[in-house]
Structure 1
């Protein structure tokens, strides 16, 4: 028994993010883990598995979150390993 606007307000008060931003943040953190642990998996495959509409949108969101493209992130992680 909670309205959508009340849910969003309470969620934002608790987390500082909207529910949509929270889910996107979670997906991008999961993507970073997958890029590290699955070097043979294509970036398009990762974006599909995480439910992004397109690999292009995934890359744009990833770069906005981490200030680096998914491909460059993977290269950086490979050098550190």
Structure 2
């Protein structure tokens, strides 16, 4: 989801961006941008497993990546 970003996430959790960054780093060891990327990639993995005929680039766009090449690179790094 392209709307999943640090500002929207902080707003949904009723905290400031600074609080979000600090708490997320303490809980997960990840920056907000890496955490968001992992969430997007996890959703993409589910979608691809549910429908193996669905084009990979389409899944990338659906989960919030604007560049199919970057999506593919990130997906391969995360899942092999």
Q: Same fold (TM over 0.5)?
A: yes
Structure with higher Rg: it is 1
Q: Return the offset for 1:7.
A: 3.1
Q: Could you say which structure has the greater relative contact order, defined with CA pairs below 8 angstroms and 6 or more residues apart? A: 2
Identify which range, 6-15 or 22-31, moves more after superposition: 6-15
Partner of 1:59: 72
- 1: CA distance, partners of 2:17 / 2:62: 28
Unmatched runs of 5 consecutive residues or more in structure 1: 68-81
Establish whether residue 42 from structure 1 lines up as the match of residue 55 from structure 2.
yes
Unmatched runs of 5 consecutive residues or more in structure 2: 1-13
Establish whether residue 10 from structure 1 lines up as the match of residue 10 from structure 2.
no
Structure 1: which 4+ aligned runs deviate by more than 4 Å? none
- Number of residues paired by the alignment? 67
Q: Return the offset for 1:8.
A: 1.3
Q: Between Structure 1 and Structure 2, which shows a larger proportion of helix residues? A: 1
- 1: CA distance, partners of 2:30 / 2:47: 24
- 2: CA distance, partners of 1:3 / 1:44: 33
Establish whether residue 30 from structure 1 lines up as the match of residue 43 from structure 2.
yes
- 1: CA distance, partners of 2:30 / 2:58: 27
RMSD: 1.8
